[in-house]
Structure 1
Amino acid sequence: MNDSSEEKSGKPERATTPDSNTGKAAKASGKAGARKPAGRKAADQDTATTKHPPRRTAHGRARGRARRGGASLLLGILALNAALAVGGFYLWQQQNRATDEARERITRLKEDQQRLSRALDESRRALDDRLRAFQETQQGLRDDLAALLERSGHLRNDWMIAEAEYLIRLANHRLLLDRDVDTALAALATADERLRDTGDPALIPARKALADDMAALRALPRVDRTGLSLQLSALAQRVASLPLATPSPEHMPDSPANPAGDGEAAAAEADTPWWGSLSGAWEILRGLIVIRQHDDPVQPLIPPEQRFFLTHNLVLQLEQARIALLRGEQAIYRERVQQAHTWVARYFDRKDAAVADSLAQLQSLSEQDIAPPLPEITRGLAAIARYRTRQAGTPPAVTAKPAPKPEPKPKPKPAPPTQGSGTPAPTPNNGAPGGGAT
């Protein structure tokens, strides 16, 4: 192949000498020593050729050169292949190592991923459990809140209804025990407001009953206890200044006749005939004896020194009338006022303007109705009791009953005529209140 290339090129071959061959062989051996031997056999052949170069012909030399060139090329190719093989092996090892590392990393990543996935699943399950527990807790709290609101609403309504019941009972007690109509009305109005604030339509019958009770109280005649008490107090203060009764002039003995008039009458009688004198004597006799008819029994007058006892007992009568007025005791009040009227009319001068005015006031006070009949105001309590029965579905434990009316107190008997007693009585001497001897 090399020969054909040389022939085609047309260049003459130079003659080779042993020296040149030896140099070339040495150079080739040096080059071959620098390179890695492809094989032991090729190295031995090169060494033998270098040491004992054969004598060849030009054709043989050409073939030898061609052989040596092919060997060099082969050695180069082998060296290159070896280098490539070594490099490839190294790269293969590096690739395998990298692949192994990548696989290990992938394995670790997969394990981490699986671990993270498991942790994520566990976290998700835990979060789901917590969310479910939170939702259950929230629902429970909502249910508790709704129950609490409902219960608080019921408790609020129960409290307001209980307060309304208390106010109705208070109104009933104030009306029956103290006859305080204004306070009873205020208590019933407040109870109606409490029932209204509940907003329960089932309490409308109870409110209707309260309205009826309040209408009955408003229809009562109002008694001005304060005004009547002030009138009695003013009369008690005026008693000390009232004038006592004095003997009437018709009960006084006749005054002695005028002496001058008697002389003239005697002179006239001397001039009159005897029958005229007889008629005059009869007239004088009729004037000495006077007979008067009285329908009322004659009452003895009180001595001035006993005025203190009369005044004191009269003031006590008026004070007792004031106490009976404030307590609503009609019988005691009227008895005390009438007794005071009797004493003023009997022992004080009725012709005096102050005495006449006092008698008129006492008469007006005795006619006052300080305790009109009171209505029953327990219909509201009965309606609330029926409401509670419907709400509970069971009969009420306690039935609402009106408060018992106070029993009338026994009338006190008149006290004996002692100093400071409440009722004056006639004395042994003259029958006047005060009890002092003249």
Structure 2
Amino acid sequence: MNQDNASNTFSAALSQPPRRSLPQPALILALVALLASGGAWLYQQNAMETLKLDLSRELASNNKLQQELRAQAVAQNQTQQQLLARLTVQEGKQAEALARQESLNNMYDTLTRGEALHSLAEIEQMLSFASQQLQIAGDVNSALTALNNIDQQLLRLNRPELISVRQALTQDINTLKSTPYVDVIGVTAKLNSLIDGVERLPLLVDAGHNPKDNPFKANPNHNSVQQFGAEVWHEFKQLIQIRRIDQPDLILLSPEQGFFLRENIKLRLLNARSALLLRNEAAFRADITATVRYLQQFFDAKAPTTDNAIKVLRQLETQQLAITLPDLSASLTAVRSARTTAERAKP
């Protein structure tokens, strides 16, 4: 029984199993999937080939660019070396130029210092003279002109150590501009003109004795006989003149006394001129007043020359002389200080 079962089992194992039939749609899907996979693999392969080609081109371009960059770097290094060489040369030239400039500056400083010393000495003399003229003659305009010229001279020097001098000059210039002006030269000229014209002033005893003062005037309506008679009558009237004189003793003034009278008037005017220069207002007015009194008392006041002289003297009587004039001590001190400093700094 056991042998029969075993033989049946062995024969069953050797026998072929029955075939199963696959469904048709599944097979088609499997083929489509297989074809899609193959297509994707082919596409990837093509893409990889294209990418490899692009990468090789990029690598070649990069290699070429690197070579160009290396060449440019080499050229830049060479250029930089040339520039460094040129810079070294320029630095050497610049150092040489600086040395020359320093030497020239030292020479110029030495020359200008000497010029400044000479100019300061000259300016000190000009200031001293202007100060003396200001105190003696009171000529403010001349002092202002001198200070302005000195300021222009200092401006041309253009040295920093002279700034204090220019500041002192500016202060003195402003002070002089605010000072009342006495025209000493103009007043002196008027006095000199009066002194020169004293000889031409007619005395009271000589008034009307000059025929030129009352010339004959012909009448065009008269005939020749009437003209002759009028002229004879005019000459006859010139021989006899009737005048009223409040001081009869003036008629007895001799020519010698007239000479001394004119000399006395000249001395009065000369004293007034001296008082003007000394700023002595009281003495100046006293001499002018005495001169006016002499002219009104002994000279013909109706004569144009005498009348003009009296008018000029009346104007001079009102002239103010007592004016406090400033000094130039600030400018002189600044100039002397700058000169001393420059002399000490001189090598």
Tell me the TM-score range normalised by the shorter chain. Answer: 0.3 to 0.5
Higher relative contact order by CA 8 Å / sep ≥ 6: 1 or 2?
A: 2
Bigger helix share? 2
TM-score by length of 2: 0.48
State which structure, 1 or 2, has the greater radius of gyration over its C-alpha atoms: 1
TM-score by length of 1: 0.39
